[in-house]
Structure 1
Amino acid sequence: MTGPVRGRPDAGGRPEEGPATPGGSPTGAGGPPEQRRSGLRNPEKAVRGLGAGTLALEALVLLLAIQPIRLVGGHLNGVAIGVIVALAVVCVVLAGQMGRGWAWYAGTVVQGLLMLSGLLHWSLLVLGVVFALVWAYALHVRRVILG
């Protein structure tokens, strides 16, 4: 054999690019060619990263918001601080579980709980609304990319 065979990896570990077979399919089966909607190499991984990044950012913002809320006139008691820390921990745990289908539903529940925590302080409601909008956008992107 003088060169790499189509579909087998070359020296760099990538499949060789070449002309399609007469059937229009790279596999030569005669069916329609595969179409990737997003153009991403691994769309599932990209969507998981978006969800995990969103939840990780939310956890960071929640933890960093405790002190400014206390200093700007918020009277956060121990229960409110505990709720904020618990929500941040749940966000971090869910960020690590984004490969599982139920984690997206749980992330939606977390957004509702954060808005509900607005009963403890109005600024938590504002954070809840902002992150609910960001989460809705992440769900939209997930639906567009994965179909």
Structure 2
Amino acid sequence: MRNPDKAVRGLGAGTLALEALVLLLAIQPIRVVGGDLGGAAVAAIVALAVACVVLAGQMKRPWAWHAGTVLQGLLLLSGLLHWSLFALGVIFALVWAYALHVRRVILG
């Protein structure tokens, strides 16, 4: 690998960008299938998606990896608003854990 640090940053940014996209696209199916998805839950989803995009752009900074981990915890906590958000939180927490593992293996 020519630039392992850049590759790892790309992995983190890609993961967060994908998470933002999935969160935004999940709003309508959750509303249709899941029933009661209130304004607070929609606002939480949009806020989490915006945070994902902002963090994806900040992956050059060392604190962004820690903030990404906190973001996964917040997504898990949003499961209190709707059970499907908890399911998404589990999925993306596992993906984020894998990204952290790859970062540790590549960068040492």
Shorter chain as denominator, the TM-score bin is over 0.9
Structure 2 counterpart of 1:41? 2
AA matched with 1:126: A
Contact 1:74 1:121 in 2 (8 A): no
Structure 1 counterpart of 2:77? 116
Aligned-residue Cα RMSD (Å) equals: 0.5
Structure 2 counterpart of 1:134? 95
Structure 2 counterpart of 1:72? 33
AA matched with 2:12: G
AA matched with 2:88: L
Structure 2 counterpart of 1:50? 11
4+ runs of 1 displaced by more than 4 Å? none
State the TM-score, normalizing by the size of structure 2.
0.99
Long gaps (5+) in structure 1: 1-39
When you count helix as a share of all residues, which structure comes out higher? 2
Q: Percent identity?
A: 83
Per the TM alignment, residue 74 of structure 1 is displaced from its structure 2 partner at its CA by 2.6
**1:91-102 to 2 correspondences below 5 Å:** 91-102=52-63
Structure 2 counterpart of 1:10? none
State the TM-score, normalizing by the size of structure 1.
0.73
Higher relative contact order (CA 8 A, sep 6+): 2
Match of 1:83 among 20, 44, 59: 44
Which structure has the bigger radius of gyration?
1
Per the TM alignment, residue 73 of structure 1 is displaced from its structure 2 partner at its CA by 3.0
Structure 2 counterpart of 1:61? 22
